[in-house]
Structure 1
Amino acid sequence: MSIVASSSFRKAFFATLRACFVVGATCPAILPFTAYAAPAEQSLLHAEDHPADWLTHGRTYSEQRYSPLAQITPQTISRLHLAWHYDLASNRGQEATPLVKDGVLYTSTAWSRVKALDAATGKVLWAFDPKVDGTYGVRGCCDVVNRGLAYWNGKLYLGTFDNRLIALDAKTGKPVWSVNTIPADADLGKQKAYTITGAPRVAKGRVLIGNGGAEFGARGFLSAYDAETGKLDWRFFTVPNPQNKPDNAPSDAVLMKTAYKTWGAKGAWVRQGGGGTVWDSIVYDPVTDLVYFGTGNGSPWNYGLRSEGKGDNLFLNSIIAVRPETGDYVWHFQETPKDHWDYTATQQIMTLDLPIEGQMRHVIVHAPKNGFFYVLDAKTGAFLSGKNFVYVNWASGLDPKTGYPLFNPDALYSQTGKMFHIFPGDMGAHGIAAMAYSPRTKLVYLPVQQVPDFLKAAKTFEPHPDGWNLGLDVEANDKMPTLKEQQDQAKDLAGWLVAWDPVQQKEIWRIPQPGPANGGVVATAGDLVFQGLTNGFFHAYRAQDGKDLFSFDAQTGIIASPISYMAHGRQYIAVLAGWGGSYGLNASGLARQKTGSINRSRVLAFALDGTDTLPPAVDPPTPALPPPATFDQKQALAGSRQFAIYCQFCHGANVEGTGVLPDLRHSAAIQDKDAFYSIVGEGALSQFGMDRFDKSMTPAEIETLRHFIIERAHQTLPAQTPAHAP
């Protein structure tokens, strides 16, 4: 009898298997999953029939991040313990969602490396290193992270930090093909801007991938490659060509006829690329046969300079729907027109079937950075409802018919010319941390944060070749916040796990957490929600009411999203641990003051009756080298501006180490002018991701940086007496 041909066998097989999972027993008599050899297309379309595996980024095409496994429940969780761990050779952020197929766990790590591990033991089966040039490390906004892989027909697909898309043989890890995802005719001056940190997706035999880089001058696009050969099938650009000319792409018509007129023709976007990068969320929906993807912020952020204060700037901060075979445009919904605030729409897109006004609707639910929870019709993009899930002050609400934001005039800082204290800030109310949905509770579990910001527009704009180009007012300021001022500022930083009813558009319960930037979640049929926090603890909460039932000290901040899978009849919960990402690099230090996170990169896997333990945590010693005894105060004042433009996004706004990169206050290089210039000006450490700035700053300007760092060291390190030359 052919297992593939027998539908009755399939139904009986999976019915028995589901029953086994629900009661939590092991079922050695059941045939292994490999007995059912579904075609590549069918395995993803019917991922629900493979509960032991985690086949795509959100487990299924719906991206609900719900596992039907139920061995681990509130009744059995007292037996949950670490089953195995695997240490990663990196001190950079870990954000990947692993995949699991036939007992093998596949994960990407920082620097776009890949590991294949035995899902039951953590034993390494193979490893792949694309050997990304270390000089690329400065080209991304938010660390050298990678958020995951795609799987299709025996191959894994990896997007690398240096913009390659690589197909790997899943059994051996050997490359099958590799392509450069940057358009051949792209402006060479902007090549440096592009990076890939997001996970590819596969739909109808095509691998879909975007790029990041808006802050550095990139123009956004989504590309589709043949999964077997790597041949480019189509590319959809998200913002217009500055000359309103065709790109020979499926996006030409809608960009030229609809989008271009929403931009100021002489704005800074003409030189700066416009932004709208597709750096994370991409979803294929087999119900509508559409691909949805979210677009990013404008480039530069300053709307008045970017677009002369004109138009909504399509298709920034939007969800776009296209045909998977051709890339043809179907619909769009712009969540944040006239973007001033880096309110990307690249956060996770999820599809659900919900009762809306008495009728079951197939919908998209989305919680982007701007703080509003959206429900859209998946077929048409029509706005159905929207409600803020955090405190927001940039808008008073959404138009109930169109979903267009009702702007607070004071928040439009490029028009007012005044500084605005905005909630949420550019880190967003919801970031890269995945949300999950449970069909049992009918709730969305949403990692939420509060990180306000102060924004003021610059009056003129001149792009810096090696810095973030935001169009914000960066003035020299020698006033270091006092400890009390920093503590007061930290009071506004907060994080929660929120259970959100997407039909009623209201919060059901919330769990306060030590600070912002916590990890993503997975929901299971065991009525549990798992999440790691930046303070280093991994938790399991009861899905109905949020009661904390399990806590494990992972010894490092967790910003990645967990998964659940089964190996040898045993349910596992796995997560990558390792502090970093946007908070690990460019936070002001306040987030770390709240959580104390440092990096110890690992893969952790938990199961009932696990017997593994982590080695004792040994914190790195505090460097004993004090800063130089003197500095020039005038040079330090000038250096504060250079630091704000070129350095703070990696080394912290207060020059306080954030737990990932070296703390500059203790650097031996600040002891000597020539040593400092060799690193900052000549690129002595470029292979480790430290850029060279001799084309951006003069030697005299680089020297002012050194004095500024010394000044900050005296003001922030304990037992230092401020000193400066007259």
Structure 2
Amino acid sequence: MRRWTRPVLWAGAAMLVLGSLGLAAAQDVRGPAAVDSARMAAQEKDGTDWLHDGRTYSAQRFSPLDQINPGNVSRLGIAWYDDLDTYRGVEATPLYADGVLYNILPWNVTIAYDARTGKRLWTYDPDVPREYGRYACCEPVARGLAMWNGKIIIATLDGRLIALDARSGKPVWSVQTTPDDMPYSITGAPRVFDGKVVVGNSGGDLGIRGFVSAWDADTGRKLWKFFLTPGDPAKGPDGEASDDIMAMIRKTWAGDYWKLGGGANAWDSIAYDPKLNLVYIGTGNGSPLAWHHRSAGKGDNLFICSIVALDATTGKYKWHYQMVPEEDWDYTCTMSMISADLKIKGRTRQVIMQAPKNGFFYVLDRKTGALISAEPFVPVNWASGIDMKTGRPKINPQAHFGTDPVLVMPGPGGGHNWFPMAFSPRTRLAYFPIYESAMVYALDPDFKPKPFRSNAGWGGYTGEALKKRTELMKQVVAMEKTFLLAWDPVAQKEAWRVPLPRHGNGGVLVSGDLVFEGTTKQTFAAFDAKTGRTLWEMPVQSAPVSGPITYMLDGVQYVAVNAGWGGGAAQIERAGGIELPRAAARLLVFRLDGNVVLPPVKAEDKAPEPPRSTASEETIARGARLFAETCQVCHGQQAIGGVKDLRRMTAETHKLFADIVLKGIYADKGMASFADLLKPDDVEAIHAYVIARAHEDWGRSSDGNGPH
């Protein structure tokens, strides 16, 4: 991977920005990325730029541009591309303004491009310590950036907000938004709403307390902070905007919940209504994941898996709607939140829409949080429906699992995950990738939460429970399906769907009457927004999981997307043993009659033969438990897939295994030392387990399933 330098202004970049980009005189005066409230308001009708993660504050990811349309999209080709020198997942939605395209990569490396030619204008590396890769659930990804008043604002994996000068890429200000003594991380895009940078964080899987904070976009000054779960009651108020509501939140928890973090991290979607002056926070799963361990199986546990509306100026609580009280299944409500005005039962309603992991599509009144409607868009059995009088789900009691395994739909991958949803005001349809899935859940009776580890509390991997789990997993495998879905939020029913081969299909863009999406066929495709008919599809050598954008420059419409397969979906799919050869990640930019051709992809080498397995069954079983607690977040359940498939280690890597885990000799690759969590005999046991798994699956090209 290319070793990036600290912020450098490429030779001649200033002249490029002012001269060769051919910007209008008015743009030269205001400078690049001169975004303000007036310019954001103009985006509702002007599709020239892509200034915000969701393009406009409504986050519809809809553009009125239609130079590329159903009649000519078959002529679409690559205008330019940039090799990003990483096999990590690239999940970011780029931004575009004033002739410059801005992008962010894993480890928060940020690049500005001449949007006509792809020439790099500057590159900035915030030097994120690679050990923070341990804290990222699903790779050290970044889902986007923000721009305001001549600044490009990034949120780093290690919890910093950094404002960069859009012209030079040099830092203007930097602040630390998270405590440095807990495993917080940031993978979601920061959002700027009328001069306020609002940012959440990740880490709920590792036992921390979620919060969201706001900062002045011009100075980096803290404006407010709101905690999403209650802290230690003995410590009194936090002195933050959430203090007024904390007594109410606390009543929904039981046991010593504050010792285990609580979770509810706002790890991705955050939205805004400028007229109502409300910021909407989508919150994550609980910590530990199992309700029994987290809150003694009691209480709704606010604000886990909720939408929380806050006053944008003060951060004070306005309303909430909890999709999943008693959350027990790793369901998160951090998916795209889209605002629209819809005519429902003869009345125009100001709504906010979301299709979270739990499988229901929600339409809420965005002023009050009142539930308007909710219907399932994938098979669901954790709840039989939503009570329209109370707004609460009708939870299936059997879904609250004990030590006896049960099958629950959807699984933790969710009916819809983080991949951005879009909405067209022309068709009045929402478009998003869906995943019909299930998971076998059971409690681990021996579970004891540990700091900085995956605190699922799930079990059922030994004895009779394992036999039942194995049989139920056959049903899980048989029912898995994926689609691009068009959903009518007024009628709450499907308009059309397109089948796709594997989970992890990308975010969605609607431009005119076209729906663009990257697919796990390793293609980028355009569909008719009205019918779902595939109008154009191009192989791009990797699955573009990110949100695409479109922009207009010199009278030419472009479409841009990051093609970099990875992240949580890739880990799930790699766990199925299905791993396609792919190119390293690229930023791809298309236009009509583009004629750039991608170089061929080298086929993947056969997995090396593993060393002999000499450990006892007892040691291997102990290694399996330690692996599940410490390693599987990055390296996959049952050591299948993940960021690095450990079943495919070379003989040399096997020799270095202990030094890699304990001494951190691969820290520069994101594999930091685990000496603070593991002892040498623990590492030996984990290594023995990995060797055993490699023997079980060695030589298998597709299924990857073994008796463990």
* TM-score, structure 1 as length reference: 0.89
Q: Quote the residue 2:418 is aligned against.
A: 432
- Specify the SS of the correspondent of 2:486: strand
Q: Quote the residue 1:109 is aligned against.
A: 105
Q: Quote the residue 1:277 is aligned against.
A: 265
Cα deviation, residue 309, structure 1: 1.6
**Could you tell me which of 223, 226, 229 is aligned with 1:239?**
229
Q: Map 1:209-228; keep pairs closer than 5 Å.
A: 209-228=199-218
Cα deviation, residue 50, structure 1: 3.4
Cα deviation, residue 475, structure 1: 4.2
Q: Quote the residue 2:511 is aligned against.
A: 524
Deviations 1:607-643 (A, max 9, x none): 1010111011113423545433655444223322222
Matched, 1:702 2:680: no
Q: Map 1:167-246; keep pairs closer than 5 Å.
A: 167-183=163-179, 188=181, 191=182, 193-243=183-233, 245-246=236-237
Cα deviation, residue 501, structure 1: 0.4
- Specify the SS of the correspondent of 2:637: coil
Q: Quote the residue 1:125 is aligned against.
A: 121
Q: Map 1:671-710; keep pairs closer than 5 Å.
A: 671-672=654-655, 675-710=656-691
Q: Quote the residue 2:496 is aligned against.
A: 509
Q: Map 1:139-538; keep pairs closer than 5 Å.
A: 139-183=135-179, 188=181, 191=182, 193-243=183-233, 245-256=236-247, 258-264=248-254, 266-267=255-256, 269-413=257-401, 416-459=402-445, 461-473=447-459, 475=461, 489-525=476-512, 527-538=513-524
**Could you tell me which of 519, 524, 527 is aligned with 1:541?**
527
Q: 1:69 to 1:507 in 2, by over 3 A?
A: same
Cα deviation, residue 461, structure 1: 4.2
Q: Quote the residue 2:550 is aligned against.
A: 564
Distance 1:87 1:440 in 2: 35
Cα deviation, residue 138, structure 1: 0.8
Contact (CA 8 Å) 1:670, 1:710: kept in 2 or not? no
Q: Quote the residue 2:692 is aligned against.
A: 711
Cα deviation, residue 487, structure 1: 7.9
Q: 1:558 to 1:663 in 2, by over 3 A?
A: farther
**Could you tell me which of 642, 661, 666 is aligned with 2:644?**
661
| Letter of the structure 2 residue corresponding to residue 697 of structure 1 | L
Q: 1:563 to 1:195 in 2, by over 3 A?
A: same
Deviations 1:346-389 (A, max 9, x none): 11111000011111011001111100000110111111110011
- Specify the SS of the correspondent of 2:603: coil
Matched residues, number: 675
| Letter of the structure 1 residue corresponding to residue 477 of structure 2 | A
Q: Quote the residue 1:21 is aligned against.
A: none
Cα deviation, residue 706, structure 1: 1.8
Q: 1:85 to 1:506 in 2, by over 3 A?
A: same
- Specify the SS of the correspondent of 1:677: helix
Unaligned runs of 5+ in 1: 1-28, 721-726
| Letter of the structure 1 residue corresponding to residue 27 of structure 2 | T
| Letter of the structure 2 residue corresponding to residue 350 of structure 1 | I
Q: Quote the residue 2:632 is aligned against.
A: 648
Cα deviation, residue 393, structure 1: 0.6
Distance 1:460 1:332 in 2: 35
Cα deviation, residue 670, structure 1: 6.3
Distance 1:467 1:691 in 2: 14
Deviates more, 1:627-636 or 1:443-452: 627-636
Distance 2:296 2:470 in 1: 40
Q: Quote the residue 2:72 is aligned against.
A: 76
- Specify the SS of the correspondent of 2:569: helix
Distance 2:326 2:471 in 1: 36
Distance 1:295 1:715 in 2: 39
Cα deviation, residue 671, structure 1: 4.3
Cα deviation, residue 59, structure 1: 0.3
Deviations 1:474-515 (A, max 9, x none): 645898999999887533322111110010000011111101
Contact (CA 8 Å) 1:417, 1:456: kept in 2 or not? yes
Distance 1:130 1:448 in 2: 34
Distance 1:211 1:476 in 2: 35
Distance 2:473 2:446 in 1: 30
Q: 1:637 to 1:398 in 2, by over 3 A?
A: same
Q: Quote the residue 1:635 is aligned against.
A: 619
Contact (CA 8 Å) 1:501, 1:507: kept in 2 or not? yes
Cα deviation, residue 294, structure 1: 0.6
Deviations 1:58-78 (A, max 9, x none): 000000000110011111112
| Letter of the structure 2 residue corresponding to residue 606 of structure 1 | F
Contact (CA 8 Å) 1:143, 1:585: kept in 2 or not? no
Deviates more, 1:499-508 or 1:44-53: 44-53
- Specify the SS of the correspondent of 1:167: strand
Distance 2:26 2:47 in 1: 10
Q: 1:671 to 1:232 in 2, by over 3 A?
A: closer
**Could you tell me which of 551, 555, 560 is aligned with 2:537?**
551
Q: 1:160 to 1:576 in 2, by over 3 A?
A: same
Deviates more, 1:464-473 or 1:315-324: 464-473
Cα deviation, residue 699, structure 1: 2.1
Distance 2:640 2:184 in 1: 28
Contact (CA 8 Å) 2:46, 2:64: kept in 1 or not? no
- Specify the SS of the correspondent of 2:162: strand
Q: 1:420 to 1:33 in 2, by over 3 A?
A: farther
Cα deviation, residue 31, structure 1: 7.0
| Letter of the structure 1 residue corresponding to residue 649 of structure 2 | H
What is the CA RMSD across the aligned residues, in angstroms?
A: 2.5
Distance 1:567 1:515 in 2: 35
Distance 1:520 1:39 in 2: 24
Cα deviation, residue 470, structure 1: 1.5
Contact (CA 8 Å) 2:663, 2:673: kept in 1 or not? yes
| Letter of the structure 2 residue corresponding to residue 449 of structure 1 | Y
Q: Quote the residue 1:93 is aligned against.
A: 89
Distance 2:86 2:644 in 1: 11
Percent identity of equivalent pairs: 44
Q: 1:506 to 1:446 in 2, by over 3 A?
A: same
Q: Quote the residue 2:706 is aligned against.
A: none
Distance 1:140 1:528 in 2: 34
Q: Quote the residue 1:24 is aligned against.
A: none
Q: Map 1:13-32; keep pairs closer than 5 Å.
A: none
Q: Quote the residue 1:11 is aligned against.
A: none
| Letter of the structure 1 residue corresponding to residue 239 of structure 2 | N
Deviates more, 1:387-396 or 1:579-588: 579-588
Cα deviation, residue 417, structure 1: 3.9
Cα deviation, residue 175, structure 1: 0.4
Cα deviation, residue 311, structure 1: 1.1
Contact (CA 8 Å) 2:581, 2:603: kept in 1 or not? no
Contact (CA 8 Å) 2:518, 2:545: kept in 1 or not? yes
Matched, 1:607 2:591: yes
Deviates more, 1:148-157 or 1:581-590: 581-590
Cα deviation, residue 229, structure 1: 0.8
Distance 2:581 2:121 in 1: 30
Cα deviation, residue 202, structure 1: 1.0
| Letter of the structure 2 residue corresponding to residue 250 of structure 1 | A
Distance 1:603 1:116 in 2: 12
| Letter of the structure 1 residue corresponding to residue 199 of structure 2 | I
Deviations 1:66-120 (A, max 9, x none): 0110011111112111111101021211000000001111011111110111112
